[in-house]
Every structure is written in structure tokens, then in C-alpha cells.
Structure 1
Amino acid sequence: MTERHLRPVGKDCLVAFGGNLYSVPARKVRPRQLVEIRATKSQVMLHSTAPGNGGETLLAIHPRAVGRGVRVVDETHWDGLPTGKGRRTTTGDVPAQPHRERPFGEAVGSLQALLNRAAATGVEIGRRPLSVYDELTGTRPFTTRSQSKESS
């Protein structure tokens, strides 16, 4: 007996099925592409939904994982993906920039900037009533009381 399901491929070329992850070849799929899973009690077969060159649809065969949270990966499936921590799948061939140590002067400059910012928090701010701004702009303050002397 075979179970059949459609599942999308992740950016890391892993397909989720039954609470586990199974790898497919990076060179034969693209992220979010749907693949067909044909699962028996002992194995998981991953097929492309569109035939490749020669009419072949089989992408990978893995033993079926027991339990949940298992990653069943064939390392050769990741050929062509960028490597790095967490197997990031960025696009483009940007070479990694070497980490350089900061000269002593730069570190002092950064420290000085922090100290200046901390000193700015100690500046005392003058407080004045809002009526001062009304006088400067020539506007009348908003009041809720009626001006009985002006209306008579």
C-alpha cells in the first residue's frame, strides 16, 4: 500500500512529510515547487510533478523515518547550494568579507560617541508655560469658558 501526497520544497531542499524532513536534489528542484511523495511503511519516494529530461520523475528515495522531527538527508542533494551556518540559501556569488580588527582610534571614537550621547541626557531643559508660545505666535489660547466681557 502506498500513500501519495503533494508537498512544497523548502529553500533548503527539504520536503516535510509525516513530521519529518526529506531531502531532494538542489539541482533538480526550486523552492516552493510541488513534489509528489509516494510513501510505504519502509520508504519515501519523492517524484517531480513534471517529467525531466528522458521522462524521469524520480528525485530521491529515502528510508522512512521512525518518529517525528527526523531529518533524512543525502548530503549530495545539497550540491549546488551555498554552504554556511544553517545552510543558508542566499542568491548571488558575493564573496565573504574578511573580518578586520578595528584600529585603536576607531574604538576610542565609538566610545567617545557613547559618552557624548550619555552626557547629552544630563542637559537640563527649560520649562515655560504654553502661553509664552501663544504670545510669540500672536494666537489666542483655546479656552472652554465663554469670554463674557468681550461678547458684551
Structure 2
Amino acid sequence: MAFAITAQWVNRLAEAHQVGGLSDESTRLGRILLIIVDAVGYIPFEPEVANLFFQYISDRYEWASVIVSSNKPFGRWGEVFGDDIVAAAMIDRLVHHAEAISLKGDSYRMRGRNLGRVPTADTGE
């Protein structure tokens, strides 16, 4: 199993591509039976990187497990990938043999922080 935020995965692929080692990196990553891609949509992809990431997911989705987390609904993934067609193709592969779970409610990280309230002014009196 390997866990990384999306930016780390795409940087790994982009760096391997730049030095001509994408095939070797894909082979190494192919040995990992489960990858977890966290925070898809937090930072938009550059088009070339979006294509590398799409190709990686496309190459492995039939035979190895992928868990993806995102705070964006699928309908907004075109913004993330910079292209509605690439986003649709990515979603198609991710949900083909998948269970999609939508979580609603407050963030686990933000619980108990009272960030929804406007603070009152302290007059010091």
C-alpha cells in the first residue's frame, strides 16, 4: 500500500517522465497493490501532468486497487484536470469497478473548532 496526496503522485510521475524513466516508475508503482490518492482537486493539474496521471490510472485500474479522496464532486473535476473530456475519462475508469462513497457533514479535522461562528468583538470593558 502507498499513500500520498495528489501533488506527490503527479510530481513523482512528472519527474520520471522528464528524465525518461516513466516506464520504470510505472513498473515500480505497478508492484503496489493499493494506492491511495488524497485530495484530488485541491490543486488543479497542468495539462501534461493531468495526462500522465490519467494514463497511470488507466493502466492500473483493471488489476490493482485505487482509493481516491476529493472535496470536489465529479461534475467539477473538469476544473481540476483542465479538460472535461480527460476528467470524464478518469472518472469512468475510477468508478468502473468501484464503490463511490459520498461523505457529508463537518470535517473530522475541523470538529470542535467553532469556525462557523463570527467572533464577537471584545471591548475590554
TM-score where L is the length of structure 2: 0.23
User: Which structure is higher in helix share?
Assistant: 2
TM-score where L is the length of structure 1: 0.20
User: Which structure is higher in strand share?
Assistant: 1
